[in-house]
Amino acid sequence: MKTIQAILPYIQIVLAIILVTAILLQRTGAQIGGAFGGGDNFSSAYHTRRGFERTLFIITIVIAILFAVGALISLI
């Protein structure tokens, strides 16, 4: 159990870096300003994800769940 407690902070740091990268890679609008709240196209939030965008979306969810589980484990 002590080995898990010793390496868990490093695993969380790596997961946090991967999670931030995955979130920043996702596009929210047609322009880069859409990631920062810019853009006037409201329909860009309601589109079907296909290909790499869908894969990146699913990977982001999985990494977020792993990060949350790691945080819960560190509390125990």
pLDDT at 4: 80
Look-up: residue for tokens 């977020």? 64
Burial of 21 (0-12, 13-18, 19+ CB in 10 A): exposed
pLDDT at 42: 54
> What is the C-alpha to C-alpha distance for residues 23 and 51, in angstroms, rounded to an integer?
16
CA dihedral 61, 62, 68, 73 (to 10 degrees): 170
pLDDT, tens digit only, all 76 positions of the chain: 688 888 999 999 999 999 999 999 887 654 455 555 555 555 555 667 788 888 999 999 999 999 999 999 988 8
pLDDT at 45: 59
pTM of the model: 0.69
